[in-house]
Amino acid sequence: MKDTGPYQLLPELSPGEFAALKADIAIHGVLVAVEVDEAGNLLDGHHRVRAWTELRAKGVRVGDYPRVVRRFGSEDERIGHLLSLNLIRRHLSVSGRRALVADLRSRGWSTRRIAGALGSSKSTVDRDLSGVPYGTPARVVGADGKSYQPSRHRLQPSVVVGSARDQRRAEAALAALGDEAPGRLLDVRKAEELGRIASLERRRTQEVPHVTDGPAWHVECCDFRDLVIADASVDTVICDPPYASEYLALWSDLSAWAARVLKPGRLFIAYAGKLALPDHVARLGERLEYVWTGATAMPGHHSIIRSRMIRARWRPWLVYSAGPYRPRTWLLDTATAEGRGEKAPTDHPWSQALGPFVQLVAMATEPGELVVDPFLGQGTTAAAAVESGRRFLGCDVDPGAVSLALERLRT
């Protein structure tokens, strides 16, 4: 959490008041959430944090404090929110009120607006400002250069969290959302999900090369059906196609395409959706031969299938071959994803853990062989192939996904 400096607008608690707060926190913990902005600046709860920090330094066992992470459109909006939070809790002395009036005046607030925020008359504010060398702007000028009177009732994009770790996640998610952050209260997972979607949409507006070559890898921005690739030239296909019902016909095309490009007897491996699993099995079987079904265990909190009241903690992967299967090594039909399903707010919404793909590449190919992924996504198969000393060829119709994959391959 960053230095609290500019956002401690109201006077410090008296020593007695602070001692009482500290004693209560020692017994009950911090009960009222601390507020921070999207950059980690402490906005509200300075005394709570100070008491908590001092207690922890003395070895008192107090749990982490709850946080609300908010995003503001302007500094003016941020200050208005702080006032609305604090003025209903604190009774200001005359000297405290005068100090606050001078602070707000230095930030460009009109005397009328200061009076409204503090519940005072304009004449009182004028008296408090007597001798303070500031002008009298009628309106506030925002960062966009426009003159306006911000609404004090606008709901800021906010994320409620319960730990320092989740606070960092919330800050990153709000940063990824930027101006597209919705003006409502979110949980951290929803904020991250929206952040990934917003980040991908921004990438889609950027220029992406149609063809990019790197050491032992080749990436194209195109539909896999348009990818120029020789018949029977691929050692394995490993991919994660879209699962939704509107993409079902794509699985038939994928079956025909893989049967053409794979060497005889070589493996095709695809993550599949559980709700559509029977359909995916049937479509792939149109041109490929079924070999096996594997599973990736996914620790932590993952998908919730509300229509079936199921909490999903694994993902199936289907193994087929081009023509009769010709085993070359033993296959292990289970894998475990590393971590607990964490994704950065700038990751692809469908990104997968790397570890299981490294295992699949190692089982399906030998060093130097060619791995192909027709649904490149964030480049998980690509990274697994390069890490394992295989050659890689991949494509994706989405320029945002290609941008993410290229960024990953180049680092």
250-297, pLDDT tens digit by residue?
999 999 999 999 999 999 999 999 999 999 999 999 999 999 999 999
The pLDDT of residue 357 is 97
* Chain position carrying tokens 């003016």: 76
Burial of 85 (0-12, 13-18, 19+ CB in 10 A): middle
The pLDDT-based confidence of 348 (bands split at 50, 70, 90) is confident
Cα separation, 81 vs 70, in Å, equals 10
Return the amino acid letter for 27: I
Cβ 193 vs Cβ 218: under 8 Å = no
Alpha-carbon distance values, 46 to 10, 68, 318 (Å): 10, 14, 54
Q: Is 21 exposed, middle or buried (0-12, 13-18, 19+ CB in 10 A)?
A: middle
Output the six-digit token pair for 236.
Answer: 């394995």
161 phi and psi, to 5 degrees? -135, 170
- What's the predicted TM-score (pTM) here? 0.68
- Extended beta strands in 250-375, E state: 262-271, 289-297, 304-305, 310-311, 314-321, 334-336, 370-373
Quick: pLDDT tens for 115-163.
766 666 677 777 777 655 544 444 544 434 455 554 444 467 889 888 9
Range 211-410 classified under CATH 3.40.50.150: yes
Break the chain into its structural domains and give their ranges: 5-202, 211-410
